[in-house]
């Protein structure tokens, strides 16, 4: 577990290490890696804009050390890797705040630093995340191209499984490429089963809830609503109630229920809005809520009108003045 006080304390520790070794050292590298792990494992425990501020501050500290021009090359390589992973986190956080252009910029930086540091997993993950951003704006052909670029260099096992199921599968399904989508899902499952550390936790890892979520989204896009509902429910049950992952799975389940059980779908979405504060509602969940509300509107089922009002009343993740929603 982590706390809100723990976030700035981690950045302070990194700052103190750099005061002792301004151009970097093995100790600074170790602290940077610990900070990245802390941010990744605590990703869902903090509102995105709060975590964004801390990650941005940590990246700035490493950047200043690297630009001193006095860092020994082995340490410089490790600092570049750290900057790359922090940029990857920033890209993911920007995406969850609905800032797609910012996400693309941070993820491009992550891919560049992955190449510069020789970290093929970082490079592949960054391209997978670019596929996620493209998919969110309906650019599925571009998303497939980004996913395939990531797959060209991704290590086997869990990283390859993640790229297939998270980056490639959903857009293949949205494009109606059924056989390719099924093949991507099968490959992801095989890679996970062959990896002794499969289902590792963390933002840069993968877990059973996320795998089931992407499968559910794909099954829904392919029109297989019963299978979508079953896998979405499995994803939801693997999450802690009220967390972002739980909200995502619950809303995908509601989308699968909508054609035949509109009242149940509306009530499920209302339950998400009751349990998850707006400050913790990611752009992906906001998008699913909006899509669901539009789908349900013609049915006039019980709860649909209330859902419409609740969705319309949601404060934006970031307002017109660049201020994030606060608790």
Mean pLDDT value of segment 140-160:
95
Q: Which residues contact 159 (CB under 8 A, 6 or more apart)?
A: 121, 124, 125
- Distance in angstroms (rounded) separating the CA atoms of residues 289 and 284: 9
Pseudo-torsion of CA 111, 115, 117, 121, nearest 10°?
Answer: 70
Report the pLDDT value the prediction gives residue 61, as an integer from 0 to 100: 96
Q: Is 241 helix (H, G, I), strand (E, B) or coil?
A: coil
Angle between helices 283-296 and 244-257 (to 10 degrees): 20
- Distance in angstroms (rounded) separating the CA atoms of residues 131 and 175: 14
Q: Which residues contact 41 (CB under 8 A, 6 or more apart)?
A: 2, 201, 202, 203
pLDDT digits over 201-221, tens only? 666 778 889 999 999 999 999
Domain locations in the chain?
1-118
Cβ of 72: how many Cβ atoms within 10 Å? 10
Question: Above 90 in pLDDT, residue 325?
Answer: no
- Distance in angstroms (rounded) separating the CA atoms of residues 36 and 1: 15
- Distance in angstroms (rounded) separating the CA atoms of residues 37 and 145: 29
Q: Which residues contact 219 (CB under 8 A, 6 or more apart)?
A: 173, 225, 227, 228, 231, 256
pLDDT digits over 173-203, tens only? 999 999 999 999 999 999 988 888 777 766 6
pLDDT band at 297 (very low <50, low <70, confident <90, very high): very high
Q: Is 71 helix (H, G, I), strand (E, B) or coil?
A: coil
Report the pLDDT value the prediction gives residue 243, as an integer from 0 to 100: 93
Q: What's the chain's Rg over C-alpha atoms?
A: 20
Indicate the pTM of the whole model.
Answer: 0.94
Report the pLDDT value the prediction gives residue 317, as an integer from 0 to 100: 86
Q: Which position has the higher pLDDT, 1 or 253?
A: 253
Mean pLDDT value of segment 61-65:
95
Q: Is 42 helix (H, G, I), strand (E, B) or coil?
A: coil
Report the pLDDT value the prediction gives residue 204, as an integer from 0 to 100: 77
The DSSP letter of residue 315 is P
Q: Which residues contact 87 (CB under 8 A, 6 or more apart)?
A: 59, 106, 107, 109, 110, 113, 126
Question: Above 90 in pLDDT, residue 291?
Answer: yes
Report the pLDDT value the prediction gives residue 202, as an integer from 0 to 100: 63
Report the pLDDT value the prediction gives residue 238, as an integer from 0 to 100: 93
Enter the tokens of residue 188.
Answer: 């992801």
DSSP 83-110: HHHHHHHHHHHHHHTT-HHHHHHHHHHH
- Distance in angstroms (rounded) separating the CA atoms of residues 285 and 140: 19
Report the pLDDT value the prediction gives residue 2, as an integer from 0 to 100: 60
pLDDT digits over 220-277, tens only? 999 999 999 999 999 999 999 999 999 999 999 999 999 999 999 999 999 999 999 9
Enter the tokens of residue 222.
Answer: 């392919």
Q: By percentage, how much of the chain surpasses pLDDT 70?
A: 98
């Amino acid at each position: 577990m982590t706390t809100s006080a723990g976030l700035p304390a981690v950045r302070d520790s990194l700052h103190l290490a750099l005061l002792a070794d301004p151009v970097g050292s093995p100790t600074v590298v170790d602290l940077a890696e610990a900070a990245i792990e802390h941010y990744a494992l605590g990703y869902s425990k903090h509102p995105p804009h709060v975590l964004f501020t801390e990650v941005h501050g940590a990246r700035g500290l490493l950047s200043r050390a690297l630009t001193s021009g006095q860092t020994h090359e082995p340490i410089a390589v490790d600092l570049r890797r750290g900057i790359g992973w922090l940029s990857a986190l920033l890209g993911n956080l920007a995406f969850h705040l609905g800032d797609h252009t910012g996400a693309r910029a941070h993820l491009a930086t992550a891919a560049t630093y992955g190449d510069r540091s020789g970290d093929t997993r970082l490079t592949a993950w960054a391209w997978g995340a670019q596929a996620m951003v493209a998919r969110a704006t309906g650019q599925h052909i571009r998303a497939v191209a980004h996913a395939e670029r990531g797959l060209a260099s991704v290590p086997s096992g869990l990283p390859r499984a993640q790229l297939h199921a998270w980056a490639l599968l959903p857009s293949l399904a949205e494009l109606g490429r059924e056989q390719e989508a099924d093949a991507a899902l099968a490959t992801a499952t095989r890679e996970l089963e062959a990896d002794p550390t499969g289902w590792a936790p963390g933002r840069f890892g993968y877990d059973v809830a996320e795998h089931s979520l992407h499968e559910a989204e794909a099954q829904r896009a392919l029109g297989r609503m019963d299978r979508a509902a079953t896998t979405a429910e499995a994803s939801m049950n693997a999450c802690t109630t009220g967390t972002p992952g739980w909200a995502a799975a619950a809303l995908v389940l509601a989308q699968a229920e909508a054609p035949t059980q509109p009242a149940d779908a509306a009530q499920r979405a209302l339950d998400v809005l009751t349990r998850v504060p707006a400050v913790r509602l990611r752009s992906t969940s906001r998008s699913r809520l909006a899509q669901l509300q539009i789908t349900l509107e013609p049915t006039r089922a019980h709860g649909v009108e209330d859902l419409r009002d609740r969705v319309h009343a949601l404060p934006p993740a970031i307002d017109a003045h660049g201020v994030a929603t606060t608790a």
